[in-house]
Amino acid sequence: EAQVTQNPRYLITVTGKKLTVTCSQNMNHEYMSWYRQDPGLGLRQIYYSMNVEVTDKGDVPEGYKVSRKEKRNFPLILESPSPNQTSLYFCASSLSRYTGELFFGEGSRLTVL
């Protein structure tokens, strides 16, 4: 089954404790992206990757890091999480940056205390 898998789905952590949210897709997609979704603010892009070893900032990259060492994986790293990073995070992938349909993971709800 074609899918984007994120882990963990739920996480409560404390300020400053590094964490990684993993994302993996099995569709051989070149393009992958991370979004955060907040009430009243909608979906905002954090980082995206056009292909392996190619990443770029989205609208709200501050406080986040990403890497794309393999085509299928695109982890989101919070080096020193803060309460304002409490959010619902979505990983998405697409065949290419410009072909349209984004396939989303089920989301990771992160709470930073």
Work out which of 14, 27, 59, 70 binds other proteins, going by CB under 8 A: 59
Determine contact, residues 93/27, Cβ cutoff 8 Å: yes
Query: Which CB atom, from 12 or from 14, has the smaller least distance to other proteins?
Result: 12
Query: Which CB atom, from 21 or from 92, has the smaller least distance to other proteins?
Result: 92
Told to check if 101 binds other proteins by CB under 8 A, we report yes
Instruction: Identify the three-state secondary structure at position 37.
Output: strand
CA distance 28 to 19: 26
Q: To the nearest whole angstrom, how small is the minimum distance from the Cβ of residue 85 to other proteins?
A: 19
Q: Does residue 100 come out as left (phi exceeding 0), alpha (psi in the -120 to 50 range) or beta?
A: left
**Helix ranges (DSSP H) in 3-87:** none
Q: Residues interacting with other proteins, by CB under 8 A?
A: 4, 31, 33, 35, 40-45, 48, 56, 58-59, 90, 92, 94, 97-98, 100-107
